[in-house]
Structure 1
Amino acid sequence: MARNNFDLDIRGLADAEQLVALLELPPKLRRRLLNNVSKRVRSISRKRVSTQQNLDGTPFAPRKASSKGKKKMESGLGKLLDVTRLSANEAELGWRNALTRWVASQQHNGVSERRTAAQMRQWNRVPVGLAATEKQAKRLRRLGFKTRQAGKKTLTRPSVAWIKEHVNYAKAGLLIRILDDEQSESSGAQSWEITLPKRQFLGPGTESETSALVNLVLQQILNSPR
């Protein structure tokens, strides 16, 4: 399922007997149930990041040969994973920041699209707080990022300050991947095929595994002191 968050509606995951018990719970305890389940799913998802495995148990697609990164993939997304919405009947596990949700969606669902050199030059000034970080800007300069700046006829390597002012955080990350993967190819390339493989770690697993988790926590709630 294409997603960048994990939505949980407990009413469809309990068997008949347990559903009756669930519906008899006061809202406060149903909310506790969902909160506990969501946090368990968060722990399971973070464990997948630690073991670098997808929902189906297969290993994450490896980095490109040209990438020198040694940090575990998706580790930042795993740390920021949180319960973002909670009620007596539904819960949502995901990311509070919109840009982080976008990055998570790109990673979870995979990306395959073509970008041209002309498109890469068409960056608009971005709002304060959404711009590329200084670390990203310096990395882009090292990778040879060039653009056509106002008043100049040829492509030039922009300053760190210019990149932070005109390139947003998400696009900077995508550009770094493009340039990092394309460094070994012709510097005169006018278009690039961007491919990010799926790396799916969010969720407890199959629907039956989700149901089993909900029912396990439900029994703990039913057997615990009120």
Structure 2
Amino acid sequence: MAHSTFDLDVRGHLGVREQLALLSLTPQLRRRLLNTALKRMRSMSRQRIRNQQNLDGSPFAPRKSAGKGKKKMEAGLGKLLQVTSVTPDQGVLGWKNALTAWVAAQQHNGVSERRTAQQMKRWSKVPEGTAATQKQAKRLRRLGFRVRQAGKKKLVRPSVPWILEHVNYAQAGLLIRILDDEQGESSGAQSWQITLPKRQFLGVHTDRDTSQVLNLVLQQILNSPP
């Protein structure tokens, strides 16, 4: 599975003097250090989404259909981004919901694969609790989502109940992004290439950037009143 979290290990990002200072801190203060550093990196990630920029400062690959009124790409993922775990030595920035993390990984790392009408036909019922939402199902219908159903010769627009029964949350999220970008393609196609470009917003660009954040937070903790 593609990476959908940013793992921060304080070791290896500090100089010798800073590591000695770190060792003098209590486990509680070391956790505070990592928690604060990760929250700063979360703010940096959200700022990139607001600016629609990748880690290296380059702009996000544009949508193929740039209609007016569309929300900024990855905005929903940014709102749900949080510190999911933290110890005195290591912390993780990501998403607690596994399906949301999967969608984020597709967006952050990019994906390219071919889907066919036959594959859609073979989709089975999804496990309880992982189905697409009503909002997603209605959005898919508005975007022209079509499948081949039993007894039908042509691709048809499935009902909301069919989508809820056969499409899970993660699939729906990815399909919405694809169909939203590919509005110009024929809705009757028998197969199509799913291509999402990398839009890398999570974490920091270089190890040097990580070290700078950690050193800054460390100095603030060392200089704070006892």
What is the TM-score of this pair, normalised by structure 2? Answer: 0.91
Post-superposition Cα deviations, 1:35-87, rounded to whole Å, max 9, x if no partner, equal 11011111111111111111000111111126666111111111101100110
1:126–1:168 CA contact under 8 A, matched in 2: yes
Between 1:60-69 and 1:22-31, the stretch displaced more is 60-69
- Specify whether residues 141 and 31 from structure 1 end up closer, same or farther in structure 2 by C-alpha distance, changes over 3 A only: same
Structure 1 match to 2:159 = 159
Contact 2:63 2:181 in 1 (8 A): no
Q: From the superposition, tell whether residues 18 and 178 of structure 1 become closer, same or farther in structure 2 (CA, over 3 Å).
A: closer
What are the equivalent positions in structure 2 for 1:58-137 lying under 5 Å apart?
58-65=58-65, 70-137=70-137
**Equivalence for 1:199:** 199
Partners of 2:175 and 2:204 in 1: how far apart? 32
CA apart distance, 1:172: 1.6
CA contact (8 A) 2:48 2:54 kept: yes
State the AA in 1 paired with 2:20: V
Equivalent residue letter for 2:125: R
* 1:195 partner SS: strand
Report 1:20-35 matches (<5 A): 20-35=20-35
Gaps of at least 5 residues in structure 1 are none
Change (3 A) 1:141 1:100: same
Where 2:23 maps in the other structure, the secondary structure is helix
- Separation of aligned partners in 2, 1:178 and 1:71: 15
Q: State the percentage of identical aligned residues.
A: 70
* Contact persistence 1:149–1:156 (CA under 8 A): yes
Task: Read off the aligned partner of 1:136 and give its amino acid letter.
Answer: Q
- SS of the aligned residue for 1:3 comes to coil
SS of structure 2 residue aligned to 1:8: strand
Q: Separation in 2 of the partners of 1:183 and 1:220?
A: 50
Indicate the residue corresponding to 1:47 in structure 2.
Answer: 47
Partners of 2:76 and 2:117 lie apart in 1 by 29
What runs of 5+ residues in structure 2 fail to find an aligned partner?
Answer: none
Deviation of the 1:157 alpha carbon: 2.8
Task: Tell me, in whole angstroms, the C-alpha distance in 2 between the residues paired with 1:189 and 1:149.
Answer: 15
**C-alpha distance in structure 1 between counterparts of 2:46 and 2:105, whole Å:** 16
1-side partners of 2:98 and 2:54: how far apart?
A: 23
In the alignment of these two chains, the number of paired residues is 224
- Aligned match of 1:12: 12
**TM-score, normalization: structure 1?**
0.91
SS in 2 for 1:113: strand
Rounded to whole Å, the distance in 2 between the matches of 1:17 and 1:128 is 53
Q: Structure 1 8/68 Cα, relative in aligned 2: closer, same or farther at 3 Å?
A: same
Structure 2 vs 1, CA of residues 112 and 128 (structure 1 numbering), >3 Å: closer, same or farther? Answer: same
Taking only aligned residues, the RMSD between alpha carbons, in angstroms, comes to: 1.8
